[in-house]
Structures are given as C-alpha cells and as structure tokens.
Amino acid sequence: TNMMRVAVIGGEGIGPEVTGQARRVLSWFTERRRLPVTLEDAEFGLEAYRRTGKVIPPETRAAIDGADAILFGATGGPETAEVPAEARREGSLLKLRRSLDLYANLRPIITDPALYEAAPLKERVLRGVDFIIVRELSSGIYFGEPRGIETGPDGSRRGFNTNSYTAEEVRRVARFAFGLARSRRGRLCSVDKANVMEASVLWREEVVALHASEFPDVALSHLYVDNAAMQIVRDPAQFDVMVTDNIFGDILSDCAAMAAGSLGMLPSASLGPADTRGRRQALYEPVHGSAPDIAGKGIANPLGSILSVAMMLRLTLGQPDDAALLERAVADALARGARTADIAEPGQAALSTAAMGDAVLASLERLAA
C-alpha cells in the first residue's frame, strides 16, 4: 500500500501540549478524509532520558528513520540541566536536523486580519503581509569548527565559534529559495552581513552568481541583517521570499512573528535534499520553543503546530486541498473569536490549548460538511 508514516514527537515543555492538538487535527484527516497515514508516537528529551538514559532512545530513532515526516513539538528548558551535556548533544534537535541534512527551513509569516489587534504593529503595516523566510538550517555558526571554551595558561577563559559556509551549502539553499520565489510573487531578498563577515561575502557572491545563471527572471535584492530586522518591523508587506543563514534566520523569524500576532502562530517545515523520486526528509515544527514560563498550564497556543500540519499535508503528504482546508479552518476559528491567551484582547476570556484544538476541529467539520 502507499500508507505513509508520521512520527509524532512532542518533546519538552509546551511541546507535548501543542503537538497533542496538532495530532488530533492530523487524525481528523486520517479518519474523516481517508488520509493514508499512520501516526507513531515517540519519546524525545527529558522524559525519554529519565526512562531510558537516552534523549533519543532506539525506538525513537527507529520511528524517525521509518517516517515519511516528523511532527515535532519543542525541546529545551531549565530541567534539561539534569541531562549530562554529552547525552544532550547526542540527542539534540540540532543533531537531528544535521543528521537528516535538513538544510531548508521554511518559516511563513502571514497576518490574519482577525489578529491585527493582537499584533503590536499598526493595521496599515500588517495589511497584506505574506512572506516566507527560508533559513539555512544545517550549517553556519551553529555547526562550524573549531568551537569551544578554553582556558589559557593564565587561567583566563575564551569561548569561540566559527561561522562557516561552503559555496555548495549556500547554493543549495539559495536554489530552493529562488525556486520558491518563482512559484510566488517572483521576489527574493537575501540577507547577510557581507560588510563584516567573509562567510557572508561568499554567501552574497554565490547568490548573485546563481541569480545570473539560473534565475534571471526572479527580482533579487540584498539587505544587511540589521537593516532587515528594521524593515521587517517597518514594512513587512514588502517581502515575498527572504533567504538567510542559520543564525540570522533564527533571530529574524522570531522578530517577524509579531506581524502574525504571536510567536505561537508560526509554523515551519525543515526539508532535506530531494531523492531521485523527488521525496525529501521532512520535519515539521512550530517556530517557538518549550516556553518554560507557561509549560504545564494548558494555555499555550497550538496554532503554530497545527499550521505545521498544513505544511506537512502540502509538502510531504501530497494533499494541497487538505492543507488549504486546514488553513481555512484556522482562519475560520479565529474569525469566530477563538483566542488563546497570547492572542487574546485585554479582558477577553482566553481558550485553553485543548479548547483551541476543539475550535479548529469544529471549523474543519463545518467547512467539510
């Protein structure tokens, strides 16, 4: 059969809370729309470590290796100090991204009119915001060698990292971003710090060369990252596709989240290279982290995770109609006033994480009827 497999990994903090709701939504598609997918739950992080001594136990590794897609929650938090550094590195999300070669991280930012009030920006700035940050996810300063903390002969300490990109690493993520821009409004903005860093000089040279040789029809622009941060706040609607390196993409996406009303709204897809049949390793997760300040309270916004399921339906499961249906259901729930605390208006009663899941499921039922 062509049954597909999704590994569901809640992880730590609010990860399991939001992923639980996204899982219900994915199950709705398997039960009500005959989506040929089986879900396999897998442990990751602190709980897994307490039970098995490993952050990624063998069963989780097996679920990951056998999966067509991974639905991931979040990792991190104060208690992870209890996990020895060695075990943590061995099982980190960064290591997972790297081992699956997930180089293209797509972080779409869309402003729903129902959430204009929730965002700290003015409505005239928010109107028409619809862009995607393509963040390089497998290289750069997150992984460059040498790295470390060392103590000199005089006892003074030094911490250091290396920002490094090969031409091929730049080309493959840039090629992805150019292709995406071509399928959208035809504009790509590349963000770097080429006025200071050699890794960025190379980044810009490769992007310019690729533009000339393969994508002359795409309108290419460049911004330094400090200006890009300012432009995202000044006029986020100017952007179509933005491509940038690992650390800049991390920072700019949290910044851009405020145009969507909350960090809790943003989904993401992390994709690896296409095989001969065009399939890619893929991990879907909200952009936010484990949110220790609200973990365990049942109040986190699950929409970033739920919208990550929509990205999965479109990019891995080959169901663009179901993806669009789910995005319409989220918009419908918001239009009917469903709000978790992070996007609620002052004085408005906020829904729990589970009640927001209920609201999306109710909208799915209505729209599918």
Residues that bind Mn ion (CB under 5 A): 250
Q: 105 in helix, strand or coil?
A: strand
Residue 301 touches which member of ligand IPM, Mn ion, ligand NAD, none, C-beta under 5-8 Å by kind? ligand NAD
* Site membership for ligand IPM, residue 94 (CB under 6 A): yes
Cα of first residue to Cα of last residue in the chain, in angstroms, is: 28
Distance of CA 307 to the CA centre of its chain: 10
Is 95 assigned a catalytic role? no
The letter for the amino acid at 361 is L
- Minimum distance, C-beta of residue 92 to ligand IPM, in the bound complex (Å): 7
Q: Do 60 and 72 form a contact (C-beta atoms < 8 A)? A: no
Residue 294 touches which member of ligand IPM, ligand NAD, Mn ion, none, C-beta under 5-8 Å by kind? ligand NAD
* Site membership for ligand IPM, residue 73 (CB under 6 A): no
299 annotated as ligand-binding: yes
Q: Do 204 and 190 form a contact (C-beta atoms < 8 A)? A: yes
Report in angstroms the alpha-carbon separations of 156 from 65, 135, 149, 151, 159: 44, 35, 11, 6, 10
300 annotated as ligand-binding: yes
- Minimum distance, C-beta of residue 192 to ligand IPM, in the bound complex (Å): 18
251 annotated as ligand-binding: no
254 annotated as ligand-binding: yes
Is 193 assigned a catalytic role? yes
245 annotated as ligand-binding: no
Beta strands in the chain (DSSP E): 4-11, 37-41, 69-74, 104-110, 130-136, 148-151, 157-160, 187-192, 219-224, 241-244, 269-274, 280-284
**C-beta of 145 vs 293, nearer to ligand NAD:** 293
Is 142 assigned a catalytic role? yes
Tokens at residue 200, please?
Answer: 């960025």
Tokens at residue 19, please?
Answer: 């992923």
- Minimum distance, C-beta of residue 128 to ligand IPM, in the bound complex (Å): 25
* Site membership for ligand IPM, residue 302 (CB under 6 A): no
Residue 17 touches which member of ligand IPM, Mn ion, ligand NAD, none, C-beta under 5-8 Å by kind? none
128 annotated as ligand-binding: no
Distance CA 218, CA 182 (A): 6
* Site membership for ligand IPM, residue 272 (CB under 6 A): no
**C-beta of 271 vs 294, nearer to ligand NAD:** 294
Contact code string over 324-363 relative to ligand IPM, x by CB under 6 A: ----------------------------------------
Distance CA 247, CA 344 (A): 30
Which residue, 88, 31, 91, 44, is CA-closest to 70? 44
Distance CA 357, CA 138 (A): 32
Is 192 assigned a catalytic role? no
Distance CA 70, CA 103 (A): 15
Cβ neighbours, 10 Å, residue 159: 8
* Site membership for ligand IPM, residue 289 (CB under 6 A): yes
Q: 197 in helix, strand or coil?
A: coil
280 annotated as ligand-binding: no
Contact code string over 1-40 relative to ligand IPM, x by CB under 6 A: ----------------------------------------
Most distant CA pair in the chain, distance: 73
* Site membership for ligand IPM, residue 108 (CB under 6 A): no
49, 142, 165, 284: which is the annotated catalytic residue?
142
Give the strand pairing for 148-151 and 157-160.
antiparallel
- Minimum distance, C-beta of residue 250 to Mn ion, in the bound complex (Å): 4
From candidates 43, 250, 322, 332, binder to ligand IPM by CB under 6 A: 250
Which residues are part of a known binding site for substrate?
A: 97, 107, 135, 226
Q: Please give the positions annotated as active site.
A: 142, 193, 226, 250, 254
